[in-house]
Chain A
Amino acid sequence: MIDLERELARALRPQEAPAGFAERVLRADRSRRARRRTWLAAASFALVLLPAGWAYQRHQQQQRAEAQLRLALEVASERLNLALQRLNPPTE
């Protein structure tokens, strides 16, 4: 009759990790960190670029609106001048 628990502990004695295992883990870790850094850089770049692009677009819209307003004011001013000239024609 055997002592099952003792035999089981023997059968399950710790195994050595395969040769070079630690080096492979460290290499995989470095590779994973490098990939993560690339993604982080891309994400950071996008985070900076997106608000900058949005601000630039807003600025362009404002510039267009200002130009349209200036044009509208110029047209209105021209028409007012014409109307004034008709009401008060220049006397010779």
Chain B
Amino acid sequence: MRRTDPLDLELSMPLEAAPAEAGFVPGSFREIVAAHQSRVFSIAFHALRNRAQAEDVAQEVFLRLSSRLDTIQSEAHLVAWLRRVTARLCIDELRRPARNAPSLEGVAEPGEAAEPGDPFLSAHLRRLLADLPGPARLALILRYQEDLEPQEIAAVLNEPVPTIKSRLARGLQRLRDGLKHLGVEA
């Protein structure tokens, strides 16, 4: 007998932060992939620190979206759906013991445009972030890459707001502690 995927059930629940738009017609699948590939890949890449894994996750996100396009009610719903599915697939990926070892890949991007600010500091921050537990890492990524408020992160990760606030605070504190070892005060 086929088991219902709990992720499917969870993802079919309405997203409070994503209101429906009357008469909303999503663009073609090709347009959606083109418009959101960077966002989805970035969340996965920052969470997993591995380009191949991140690409696999991002591809799976869009393949799942392809079969659910008719359930998308607005652009905000689409973005929230993409964030939620990406985050959940990353958490699943991080739980796999064999593939959970953080990779150094991407800590310093080869052939990448020069980073604004201090590239060494950015690389070190990404390395420290990679050492955080998966849920805390994702909360920080959604806060500082996607610029979401704790309430929005809570909706994406389906967790209580206080839990998210506490993860953000603990995560930031661990980053501060890590920087302190480098002699950087934050």
- Residues in A lying within 8 Å of B, measured CB to CB: 1-5, 7-18, 21-22, 24-26, 28-29, 32-33
- Residues in B lying within 8 Å of A, measured CB to CB: 29-30, 33-34, 37-42, 45-46, 51, 55, 58-59, 62-63, 66, 106, 109, 115-118, 121-123, 125-126, 129, 140-141, 144-145, 147, 172, 175-176, 179, 184-186
Task: List residues of chain B with CB within 8 A of the CB of A28.
Answer: 59, 63
A12 touches B55 (CB 8 A): no
SS of B interface (majority): helix
Q: Which of B41, B141, B147 sits near A18, CB closer than 8 Å?
A: B41
SS of A interface (majority): helix
Q: How far is the CB of B62 from chain A (nearest CB, A)?
A: 5
- 25 examples of A-B residue contacts, CB within 8 angstroms: A2-B121, A2-B184, A2-B186, A4-B175, A7-B121, A8-B144, A9-B145, A11-B125, A11-B144, A12-B140, A12-B144, A14-B145, A15-B38, A15-B41, A15-B42, A15-B106, A17-B38, A21-B37, A21-B58, A24-B59, A25-B33, A26-B30, A29-B62, A29-B66, A32-B66
Q: How far is the CB of B110 from chain A (nearest CB, A)?
A: 13
